Amino acid sequence: MLRRKTAPAGIFAVLIRRAVLLCAGLVLFAANYARADGACSFTQSQFVPLAAAQGGVSGAPGQIGEELAVRKELLSEVVDCSIAEASDLQSRVGKLAISDGDAEAKKIQAQLSGQLGSAINYYEVQKSKIGDLGLQGSKDFAADLKTWRAGNYEPNAKSASNFIIWVGDQDIIGIAQERFDEIGQSVSLLKIVDGQEIQSDWGDAVSNFNNALQENESAEQILLSFGPPEDSLNAIKSSLESLSVTYQKFFDTISAINKALHPQ
């Protein structure tokens, strides 16, 4: 598909669109750090009361009761924090703007949102059990919750984080596609001229861009099939890295075009 911008209004529209994209990227980047600052927090100081309770006369009835109370308090905080963490992620996944035409992405969004919702329900159920725990039971509860998180919550949460990045990639890839078509048109025109360097740089750009598209598609399929989050993240990174190289080749191609048109 060939495309050429000639109307001033069209040029302005494209410029504005790209400026908005860059700003959105910066905002997203900043928001990611802001989110970390606003997440649930635990510090060593929160364990001071527990250490104090454990520091009394060993085996005394009062000591056990005090330690258990502190442990339950901490477990409640951990579960509340886990619920907040899952809810925040679920909200971010739900707010992703995905076009109705992208059925597969819509499906991934629904799946991830459902899984995070199930995790929230699980946490709620676990929280209701904390009141009945004994000292050993509270330790087992903590160990079980940690195991469950590692086996169930974390893969889904990582996939959700990967999906958020993947959705952001689609806008970038769309703009890269337009750029690819635009420069490709110029390169086609220059085939009539002797431009070996142009064709060589452009060939690299084509190869890298195709690889970026392929890895992007692969990431979507991994997310769709509940594949390991490490795999989807690797595919996303690989796609972006290929896209980055593609842009470098765009610069090289344009430079070669300039050189061909203005030989010194």
Partner 1 sequence: MDLLDLLKKLKSIEPDKEFSLNSRNLILNTPPKVRVSFLGILLKNLELGAALALAGLLIFLTIGGFSAWKFFSPLELANFDATSIRAEAQAIDIQIKLANLNYIESTSTLVGGESTKMAASGPGNGTSPAGGALGGEKNNGNSSSSISIDEVLEKLSQ
Q: Under rule CB under 8 A, which residues in 132-191 are in contact with partner 1?
A: 138-140, 142-143, 145-146, 149-150, 154, 157-158, 161, 165, 168-169, 172, 175-176, 179, 182-183, 186-187, 189-190
Q: Does 64 participate in binding partner 1 (rule CB under 8 A)? A: no
* Rounded Cα–Cα distance for residues 186 and 124 (Å): 60
Closer residue to partner 1 in complex, CB, 109/219: 219
- Residue from the set 13, 15, 60, 103 that interacts with partner 1 by CB under 8 A: 15
**Residues 123-155 as b or e (16 or more Cβ within 10 Å = b):** beebbeebeebeeeebeebeeebeeebeeebeb
**Total interface residues for partner 1 by CB under 8 A:** 81
Instruction: Assess contact for 173 and 231: CB atoms under 8 A.
Output: no
Pattern of binders to partner 1 over 32-61, x per CB under 8 A?
Answer: x--xxx-xxxxxxxxxx-xxx-xx------
Amino acid at 98: I
* Rounded Cα–Cα distance for residues 235 and 3 (Å): 29
Q: What does each C-alpha distance from 5 to 12, 15, 18, 30, 255 come to in angstroms? A: 10, 11, 14, 33, 20
Closer residue to partner 1 in complex, CB, 46/121: 46
| Least separation in angstroms between CB 63 and partner 1 | 11
Q: Which of 108, 110, 115 is nearest to 157 (CA)?
A: 115
Closer residue to partner 1 in complex, CB, 42/107: 42
Q: Does 26 participate in binding partner 1 (rule CB under 8 A)? A: yes
Q: Which of 205, 213, 211 is nearest to 248 (CA)?
A: 205
* Rounded Cα–Cα distance for residues 13 and 5 (Å): 10
Closer residue to partner 1 in complex, CB, 103/146: 146
Of residues 230-249, those binding partner 1 (CB under 8 A): 233, 236-237, 240-241, 243-244, 247-248
Closer residue to partner 1 in complex, CB, 182/231: 182
Of residues 74-93, those binding partner 1 (CB under 8 A): 74-75, 78, 81-82, 85, 89
